[in-house]
Amino acid sequence: MILAVCLNPAVDVTYSVAALRYGTSHRIAAVHRRAGGKGVNVARVLAQVGEPVAVCGFAGGGTGRWLRDELAGSGVADRLTGIDGETRQSVAVVDEADATVFNEPGPPVRDADFSGLADTFEQQLAGCAAVVMSGSVPPGAPVDAYARLVLLARRHGVPTVVDTSGAQLRSAADAGATVLAPNRDEVGVASGDPAALLEAAAELSRRSGGTAVVSAGRDGLVAVDGEHHWRALPPRQVTGNPTGAGDALSAGLARGLAHGSPWPLVLADSLALAAAAVAAPVAGQVELSLYRELAAVPTVEEVPCP
C-alpha cells in the first residue's frame, strides 16, 4: 500500500469556460465538484493506475463530510482525522489557454489535532511501501509538520516523497526525506533553464541526502540523486487543465519508489502521468490511453553535473 498525506484537503470546484476575461461575466460550459487537495489528487491517480492507497489528513464540518462521502467511491481508503473547523474549497477556472485557481485558506488545527493525525499516520505505516506528502498545511499546523511525519516514516523504514514549499520543504529536507519533489516556483527558479533547475535540485539533494526532482511544467523536469543528474522533457505538449499535473507526477514518483524501480524509468513514467493529467478535465485524474502512449516514448537522459 501507498499512504498519501493531505494535511489541507479541499472540495475542488472546476469551471470550464471558453475564455477567461477579467472584469466580465462568464457562461460556464461544465462544472465538476469532487474531493481534492494535492494529496487527495495524488491518491486518486494512484488508485486509477491500480495501486492500493489510503489518505491521511484533516476533514471537518459539512464540507468535510461531503468530501469523505465523495471520496468513498474513488478507490482511496479514508484515514482522515476529524476536526472542528470547516474543510476548505478551491475553485479552478479552466479555459482553452490555461487554468486560474482560487484556494481558500484551510481550517485552523490544534496541537491535539496534529497529534491525533500523527498517531493515525504511524498506525498506517505497517505494511506501507511508500508515503507521499503533498501541498500546503492548514493554519495552526507545526511549521515542521512534514518533517515530523518523515521522521516517523524513517523510524519504520518507509521511504517518503514530499511535494511542498518554503519552511515545510526545508525542514523535510533536513529530516531526510527520500525524495523531494517541488516545482520550479517552489525553489525560486523563474524559468525552465535546465542549469538553474539542476542547481536547485542538487542543493536539495545535498541537504536531504536523497533525491530531488524539480518539475517545470511544459519544460519537463530535472532530477538529482547524488552524482547522477537527469533531465526529462515531455514526449509531446498536451493542452487542457494543468492543475493536477504536479500531483500526477508525485503519484508516479511514489509508485516508482514503492516498487523499487530505477530512476530513469520512474522519471519517464511520472512525466507521462503528469502529461496525461493535463488532458483530463479535473485534477486527480489521468487519461489512461494517453498515459500508456506517452509512457512508451523515451524521454529521460542523464546529463553531466553542472
**Residue 25 within any structural domain of the chain:** no
| Count of structural domains within the chain | 1
pLDDT of residue 3: 98
Q: Which residue has the higher pLDDT, 283 or 274?
A: 274
| Residue 166 belongs to domain spanning | 2-9+36-87+105-302
**Residue 129 within any structural domain of the chain:** yes
Please give the average per-residue pLDDT across 161-186, as a whole number. Answer: 97
pLDDT digits (tens, 9 = 90+) for 199-248: 999 999 999 999 999 999 889 999 999 889 999 998 888 888 888 999 99
3-state per-residue secondary structure call for the chain: CEEEEECCCEEEEEEECCCCCCCCCCCCCEEEEEEECHHHHHHHHHHHCCCCEEEEEEEEHHHHHHHHHHHCCCCCEEEEEEECCCCEEEEEEECCCCEEEEECCCCCCCHHHHHHHHHHHHHHCCCCCEEEEECCCCCCCCCCHHHHHHHHHHHCCCCEEEECCHHHHHHHHHCCCCEECCECHHHCCCCCCHHHHHHHHHHHHHHHCCEEEEECHHHCEEEEECCEEEEECCCCCCCCCHHHHHHHHHHHHHHHHHHCCCHHHHHHHHHHHHHHHHCCCCCCCCCHHHHHHHHCCCCEEECCCC
Cell of 147: 518533517
**Residue 203 within any structural domain of the chain:** yes
**Residue 22 within any structural domain of the chain:** no
pLDDT of residue 306: 62
Residue among 123, 131, 138, 31 nearest 86 (CA): 138
Binned at pLDDT 50, 70 and 90, residue 88 comes out as very high
Active site residue 113: no
pLDDT digits (tens, 9 = 90+) for 36-52: 999 999 999 999 999 99
**Residue 31 within any structural domain of the chain:** no
pLDDT digits (tens, 9 = 90+) for 91-132: 989 888 788 989 888 899 999 999 999 999 999 999 899 999
CA 265 – CA 270 distance, rounded (Å): 8
Averaged pLDDT of the chain: 94
Binned at pLDDT 50, 70 and 90, residue 147 comes out as very high
**Residue 17 within any structural domain of the chain:** no
Q: Which residue has the higher pLDDT, 254 or 94?
A: 254
Instruction: List the CATH number of the domain containing 208.
Output: 3.40.1190.20
pLDDT above 70 covers a percentage of the chain that reads 100
Please give the average per-residue pLDDT across 18-27, as a whole number. Answer: 90
**Residue 29 within any structural domain of the chain:** no
Catalytic-labelled residue, pool 12, 113, 144, 247: 247
pLDDT of residue 131: 98
